[in-house]
Amino acid sequence: MEHNPLFAVWINGLLRSVAGLAGIRVHGDPLPAHVIMAFIATLALVLFFKLTVKNLSLFPARMQAMLESIYLFFRSTVDDMIGHEGRKFIPVLGTLGLFIASCNLLGLLPEMASPTANLNVPAGCAIFIFLYYHAQGVKKHGFFGYLKTFAGPKWWLSWLFFPIEFISHFSRPMSLTVRLFCNIFGEDLVIIIIVSLVPFVAPLPMMAMAIFTSLLQAYIFIMLSSVYLAGAIASEH
């Protein structure tokens, strides 16, 4: 059962009130809690970067230095996994990575919940990457050229390689989804149980570990996505 944080209850109550004023009767919650939480994470990221990039300078202040460090981190990851050609994917991978990290960490705030603790959000991110790296492969090689990369090194082995490649590629979004969902759902559930038993000091060590694992899961998601992109645009398979 999905955790329904108090903030989501307030938002849904407000939406029902607005709908009532318009003469619309709404049964239940207008929006699921994970949708509200994902929207909050997105809005927070947009506002944060909108405010912090207004006064960029040649000699960066502390906030600008932090933003540049984030960019350099993603650039280093892409360079290691894909190469310099992969730098054009930094906007997509960086946005996705920051979104996942923000969603993971959101559940550590009072009366909030991690959207990634709901299966739909990790699945949406995984399906997006699945479609995106295939689209980049088709863009690089052409449709039939990209299809040939699934046939293996020799044409007469295509009957063997096609099913293997098919299963391999379609297992990737499932793997990304389950890994992210299980880790975040598990840590959030443990924290909720600890808070319900000992609400003050006891949850702090688990919450500190959750910060690390939340960032780690976002990194693993982006690292694997980079690997898939590298395979899709590679000149030789």
Would residue 90 count as lying in a domain? yes
Residue 50 tokens read as: 């909108």
Residue numbers of the domain that contains 172:
61-233
Determine contact, residues 125/34, Cβ cutoff 8 Å. no
Summarize pLDDT for 84-137 with one digit per residue, the tens: 888 999 999 999 999 999 999 998 888 888 999 999 999 999 999 999 999 999
Residue 127 lies in a domain: yes
pTM for this predicted structure: 0.89
Counting DSSP H helices and E strands in the chain, the numbers are 8, 0
Distance CA 215, CA 205 (A): 16
Structure tokens at 126: 């995984």
Instruction: Give the separation between CA 76 and CA 234, rounded to whole angstroms.
Output: 19
SS3 state at 100: helix
Residue 117's pLDDT is what? 93
Assigned domain for 199 exists: yes
Q: Is the dihedral of CA 119, 125, 127, 130 positive or negative?
A: negative
CA distance 222 to 151: 27
**Residue 3's pLDDT band (boundaries 50, 70, 90)?**
low
Confidence of residue 2 (pLDDT cuts 50, 70, 90): low
Q: What is the pLDDT of residue 155?
A: 65
Let me know the angle formed at the C-alpha of 148 by 166 and 132, rounded to the nearest 5 degrees. Answer: 60
Number of domains in the chain: 1
For residue 6, tell me if it sits in a domain: no
Q: Is residue 203 assigned to a domain? A: yes
Domain annotation covers residue 217 = yes
Q: Is residue 4 part of a domain?
A: no
214 and 103 in contact (C-beta within 8 Å)? no
pLDDT in tens, 199-236: 777 778 888 889 999 999 999 999 999 999 999 988 65
